Amino acid sequence: MILLDGCRVVVTMDEAGTELENASILIDGGVIRWVGRGRPPLGEPPEVLDGRGLVALPGLINAHHHLYQTHTRVHAQQGGLFDWLSELYPIWATIDADWERTAAEVGLAELALSGCSTTTDHHYVFPAGTAGLLEAEVEVAARVGLRFHPCRGSMDLGQSSGGLPPDGVVEDIDTILAATEAAIQRFHNPAPGSMCRIAVGPCSPFSVSERLMRESAELARQREVRLHTHIAETLDEEAFCQATFGRRPLELLEDLGFLGEDVWLAHCVHVNDADIRRMAATRTAVAWCPTSNMRLGSGFAPAREMIDAGVRVGLAVDGSASNDGGNLLAEVRQAMLTTRARKGAAAMTARQALRVATRGGAACLGRDDIGTIEVGKRADIALFATDGLTHRGAEADPVAALVFCNPGPVRHLFVEGKPVVRDGQLVNLNKVGVR
């Protein structure tokens, strides 16, 4: 039992957006038992953590990532998506379990230190002859202590079949479906409070056959796991879909049975009003990746419009080769600023951006037990100090300061009631990314 005592502000992120000043949170057995001002109803004396001066947020939730890319930052610096991918595929063709483990250590450490308590990962590169890739990142996430939703990703459309990736990094459909089924069997835990859930993630329209998309969706529904893919990221992709399938990317997904409340889609940059209505009507969620979309020159996802239309939108750092970082709080700032650049200074508040990165992420991952600080929810809590140099002069609104000012590291991070970051240090990981 731990009492996070006397926090300067507890941002509950509940439906009404309640914020409690000088409030405390009682954690017991991985669950939030009490939130409020004054003294909690205590049975036994708990461990007490001094929350004075700290802002408590629900742990941030990262809705799209490619951890293996952490070892390939700053490549193809002037390349758009297709050029960038074409330069990187041959390097990624050499990955192995050791690469995956060390990349996951770096990527998950970065996320944790930015206040992220839950992340997905979309791993879709399985070069012939490699083994243990998904297993490696599942092991690292468990060791670091983060809640993890890895996608067993896939590509089956190599260059010789009209796809973008070289043939050496794609697999055949039977291998993919069998490996996905095996991953679900081995790692997926559907129970409340689950620390690991598998999703099915064929990569993108230009690297996956229509048959694999359809059969992936069927498998996910049969096994009651979530479905994920990249869509509508660039105009090149839209042109590819029109030329190859005679349809826009979202139309293609609809025809393939790939929309629904069990689906979340990365990017959705080039979507029109009809696409947005289709996503809202089908309760399909979106992982918004502002930094990656700017880095590759892909454009700006109309996140404000999607949210206003009732689409459930979460936030994501995307892979570390197209973000060149994995700081989710920095991404919250990007989300707010890019929205303002598009739609004016009133278009997104700091709190709205934080809401996307918490409740929105929970919706992407199909979780109703995380994303808020409320009694009965899992105890995933990020505590940030706002007394450092970057927050000097921002005392008037410490919550807004977390987003408006340059992002500082998390002071303490709890996941499932257990400390993952304590006093700014990772609790369970000493050597990070050593190969």
Shortest reach from residue 266's CB to Zn ion, in Å: 5
Shortest reach from residue 267's CB to Zn ion, in Å: 7
Of 66 and 333, the one with the shorter C-beta distance to Zn ion is: 66
Q: Give the contacts of 4 (CB within 8 A, at least 6 positions apart).
A: 24, 25, 26, 27, 49, 51, 56, 381, 383, 414
Shortest reach from residue 292's CB to Zn ion, in Å: 7
Of 331 and 380, the one with the shorter C-beta distance to Zn ion is: 331
Of 12 and 284, the one with the shorter C-beta distance to Zn ion is: 284
Of 26 and 108, the one with the shorter C-beta distance to Zn ion is: 108
Of 323 and 352, the one with the shorter C-beta distance to Zn ion is: 323
Shortest reach from residue 48's CB to Zn ion, in Å: 41
Of 7 and 357, the one with the shorter C-beta distance to Zn ion is: 357
Phi and psi angles of residue 152, each rounded to the nearest 5 degrees, phi first: -80, 95
Instruction: Name the residue whose CB lies closest to Zn ion.
Output: 318
Closest to 220 in 3D by CA, of 193, 169, 260: 260
Shortest reach from residue 363's CB to Zn ion, in Å: 18
Shortest reach from residue 144's CB to Zn ion, in Å: 21
Residues that bind Zn ion (CB under 5 A): 318
Q: Give the contacts of 412 (CB within 8 A, at least 6 positions apart).
A: 49, 54, 381, 382, 383, 419, 421, 422, 423
Of 237 and 318, the one with the shorter C-beta distance to Zn ion is: 318
Shortest reach from residue 280's CB to Zn ion, in Å: 23
Residue 19 burial by Cβ neighbours in a 10 Å radius (0-12, 13-18, 19+): middle
Of 121 and 416, the one with the shorter C-beta distance to Zn ion is: 121
Of 77 and 430, the one with the shorter C-beta distance to Zn ion is: 77
Phi and psi angles of residue 2, each rounded to the nearest 5 degrees, phi first: -125, 135
Shortest reach from residue 210's CB to Zn ion, in Å: 20
Shortest reach from residue 173's CB to Zn ion, in Å: 21
Of 215 and 318, the one with the shorter C-beta distance to Zn ion is: 318
Contacts 24+ apart (CB under 8 A), 185-192: 187/134, 187/138, 187/150, 188/223, 188/225, 190/224, 192/369, 192/378
Shortest reach from residue 122's CB to Zn ion, in Å: 6
Shortest reach from residue 336's CB to Zn ion, in Å: 21
